Amino acid sequence: MIRTISLAISLALVATFALGCKPQQGPQVAFLLSTLQEERYQKDVKYFEARAKELDLRILTLAADNDNARQLAQVEDVLTQGAKVLVIQPTDSQAASSYVRLAHEHGAKVIAYDRAIVSADLDYYVSHDSYRVGVLQAQAALKATNGKGHYVLLSGQAGHSVATEITRGYEDTLAPYISRGDVEIVMKQNHSAWSPEQALRTVEDALTRTGGKIDAILANNSGMARGAVQAITAAGIANVFIAGADADAANVNFVCQGKQTIEILKDIQPLAKTAADVARHLVDGETPKLDATIMLGGKAIPVAAVRVEVVTADTVKPLLVDSGFLTADELPACKSRIAAAR
């Protein structure tokens, strides 16, 4: 009887494998985001997962809600599951150096995604050209204000490479005007979790400090730009240059309404696609072909820098709608502009 049962089990297992069923396997690639709270990160997940599927990668996507401890726990968990490549948008660029060390101890590689990880041992970095975001915003502000006035700089969370690089773009571009006394930075502030509510309060404080005399507000992302728009609108002040970055639908509608001046498009699809392509190469033990490097932790790290572009009311259709980044239905305030551009 025992032999009969054993034979039956063996035959069942053979039949199972013959039908193509395989034992449960863990992820090859872990996509670890800092947050999904911002509108744009839903796109990151959509495009990364779509490209990973095309490349036949087993992936696991997790978000840490901007919590360093949670992200570390997620890193440890996916490594335990056997992930060979970790694509990480770090909650903190400095703290994430420990993730790289831990991954390498498990024989895994790390791609910093969207934000740098400050580690000389980082394997690859895939990001938008964050410094260029700051340069473009500052150049547009100088043009709009004739190179003069009171400026407010709304930076993202302290310790994030994106916030650092965008703000460095502001400062380098504005430096000659500041040194001549033509431009004054009346407020420069970091905001935890890139908070729109904190940005609103910063702008309110700047309005109080200057007696309502603000000429330009440069925000590291769309959310903080929304806080700026809310503060300026509530104060009843007109003709303030406001720039954001990420091209969230709400902000693009503001641009078409004249409440905000520009947004910077950081197109997500090429960013996510590039990260998935690099991950596939690394899983296969290949060396991705990237044509640039960035100094991190005193070492040149391979980097893919995705270009960024200025969005105005006149460029909404070609840059956002035609590309599929946003739909016309998401941009009711831009309806007439979109129709006129056909």
Q: What is the DSSP string of 274-328?
A: HHHHHHHHHHTT------EEEEETTEEEEEEEE--EEE-GGGHIIIIITTTSS-G
The answer to whether the CB of 39 falls within 8 A of the CB of 252 is no
d(CA 283, CA 279): 6
Domains of the chain: 29-122+268-305 (3.40.50.2300), 130-266+312-340 (3.40.50.2300)
pLDDT tens for 17-75 read 334 444 458 899 999 999 998 878 999 999 999 999 999 999 999 999 999 999 999 99
Average pLDDT of the segment spanning 187-196: 96
d(CA 290, CA 78): 26
Q: Residue 294 above 90 pLDDT? A: no
292: confidence class by pLDDT, cuts 50, 70, 90: confident
Whole-number average pLDDT of the chain: 91
299-306, strands of its sheet edge to edge = 59-63, 29-33, 85-88, 109-113, 124-128, 299-306, 292-296
Q: Residue 170 above 60 pLDDT? A: yes
Q: Within 10 Å of residue 20's Cβ, how many Cβ atoms?
A: 6
SS3 75: helix
- 88 beta partners: 32, 112
pLDDT tens for 295-327 read 888 888 999 888 899 999 999 999 999 988 999
Q: Strand 299-306 vs strand 292-296: parallel, antiparallel, or unpaired?
A: antiparallel
2: confidence class by pLDDT, cuts 50, 70, 90: very low
What pLDDT, on the 0 to 100 scale, is given for residue 291? 67
For residue 316, CA distances in Å to 101, 220, 246, 260, 263 come to: 43, 20, 13, 13, 10
The answer to whether the CB of 288 falls within 8 A of the CB of 280 is no
d(CA 174, CA 162): 18
Least confident stretch, 3-17, 43-57, 78-92, 242-256: 3-17
The answer to whether the CB of 337 falls within 8 A of the CB of 311 is no
* pTM > 0.85: no
What pLDDT, on the 0 to 100 scale, is given for residue 84? 98
Q: Residue 107 above 90 pLDDT? A: yes
Instruction: Tell me how many helices (H) and strands (E) the chain has.
Output: 12, 13
What pLDDT, on the 0 to 100 scale, is given for residue 12? 40
Q: Residue 8 above 90 pLDDT? A: no
pLDDT tens for 143-161 read 999 999 999 999 999 878 8
d(CA 53, CA 166): 32
Kind and range of the H or E run holding 263: strand 262-265
Q: Where are the alpha helices (DSSP H) in the chain?
A: 2-18, 39-54, 68-80, 97-105, 130-144, 161-179, 196-210, 222-235, 249-257, 268-283, 316, 335-340
Q: Residue 227 above 50 pLDDT? A: yes
For residue 138, CA distances in Å to 33, 141, 171, 248 come to: 28, 5, 8, 20
For residue 257, CA distances in Å to 135, 261, 334 come to: 24, 9, 8
Least confident stretch, 112-116, 261-265, 278-282, 302-306: 302-306
- 241 beta partners: 216
247: confidence class by pLDDT, cuts 50, 70, 90: very high
What pLDDT, on the 0 to 100 scale, is given for residue 1? 41
